[in-house]
Amino acid sequence: MKQTECTTILVGKNATIDGSTMIARSEDGGRVIIPESFEVVNPADQPRHYTSVISKQKIDDEDLAGEVLRYTSAPDATREKGIWAAAGINSANIAMTATETITTNARIQGVDPVLDPSEGGLGEEDFVTLTLPYIHTPEEGVKRVGYLLEKYGTYEMNGMAFSDNDHIWYLETIGGHHWIARRIPDDAYVVAPNRLNIDEFKFDDPDFMASSDLKELIETYHLNPDKEGYNMRHIFGSSTIKDAHYNNPRAWYLHNFFNPEFGGQPGDQDQPFICYANRRISIEDIKWAESSHYQDTPYDAYGDQGTPEQKKTFRPVGINRNFETHILQLRNDVPAELAGVQWLAFGPNTFNTMVPFYTNITDTPTCFKTGSKFDLKQIFWVNKLAAQLGDTNYRVYGELENDFEQKSLAQCHKIQHETDRAVKGLSGDELVAKLEEANKQMAELVYQNTVDLLGSMVNEGHGLMTLKYDLLD
């Protein structure tokens, strides 16, 4: 299972550069490479009988009945430990990303412990598949996940987000069967690392939702350490040395990127959940943030400011264990049929670029359909190879990557603008075909750009090899 990984970023419509909502997450793993794919689940392909692979939890058929919407997903290519659909946008233009692994504490685990997988329960492998095809609003997403948690339970602590073109909700699981959720203010952004993130909570406010008995549970079992109010991070989360090194520094660094007046120290335990940037946030800002590794600080593994010890002090956002990163964007300046865009990148974020795929489609480009074995015809593996070569000498290869990313993003933006104009007046199958054609064009362009990047890195690295001998040396 993927544990203690991922970094979530949420941006409300009044905080973005174009008035869209954006929910993003890097899907990270462990020491073993987990190849990720990009697929569409059409209604006929949605499972009507479902059993979790990890926990063997069987879902009642009644919970899979009713209307099923088409949706995009970024599943694990092998399916060895389940689907792990990760993120997508459905045909009602509702986006979902799941999940962000988060923390807990002994107090709540003594009251409502997470299940052992041998006991059943749901986990990251399940949530998108069991939720996204059945919802028409972000609120419905929150309520459906809450229902599933209360009925089946969970064996891990997770955070997840839902959005439409108007607003964003963020949900966190509490113990084995409880949950909390908060609507993100339209003018705010959120950075959520691998800890319980929701802080201030109001039980009598429509912008907050929770398990019906949660307030009573807090009072009955004396779970609140604060004298006034409800801070869910204090009540249910952690404040550990691991948080100070693994989680808090990522949030601190990105807060200072989005708002240099934020200040503070990397290990600060009480960084706010809801934050406000000093500018409107763009796709490029989020991609940079998801690729960041403490640049211009002593903590940058690629930098020249810190000691060897400092370079290993804090976990960065951009890391070798990034296997898939998405930005789910719902736009407000185009017709609804064009509004959903799943920006997608595979591999470590220091050496890849995002591709803005339209989600009103029935199929995805071939080179983004990843197989389980190393294959240089698939962009996942080309990206992984480029990152591992680039990591050997970031000072040399980093500028090549920056040029590649700027070029690719500009070309994709151009195709997207041209497509938005070209499909005006189209509908139905004709529109879907044009959007799939644009997706294919962008995918093949970025694939070729990535191959070209790899070629440039080989050319630059030729003269830097240690195994060489020249009469002029």
Q: Which residues are catalytic?
A: 6
- DSSP β-bridge partners for residue 9: 24, 191
Rounded to a whole number, what is the largest CA-CA distance in the chain?
81
Q: Are 55 and 49 in contact (CB under 8 A)?
A: no
Q: Which two tokens stand for residue 47?
A: 């499972």
From the CB of residue 190, how many other CB atoms can be counted at a distance below 10 Å?
24
Distance CA 23, CA 168 (A): 8
DSSP secondary structure string, 259-293? Answer: -TT----TT-S---SSB--SS-B-HHHHHHHHH--
Nearest to 392, CA basis, from 462, 292, 440: 462
Q: Which two tokens stand for residue 37?
A: 């794919």
Q: Mapped to the 3 state alphabet, what secondary structure does 300-352 carry?
A: CCCCCCCCCCHHHCCCCCCCCCEEEEEEEEECCCCCHHHHEEEEEEECCHHHC
Give the CA dihedral 334, 10, 360, 83, nearest 10 degrees: 180
Contacts of 347 (CB under 8 A, 6+ apart): 322, 323, 380, 383, 384, 386, 387
**Beta-strand relationship, 340-346 and 355-358:** antiparallel
Three-state SS at 369: coil
Distance CA 284, CA 410 (A): 11
Dihedral sign from CA coordinates of 42, 45, 49, 51:
negative
For the beta sheet containing 208-210, the strands, ordered from the edge strand earlier in sequence to the opposite edge, are 87-89, 95-101, 158-163, 168-174, 178-184, 208-210
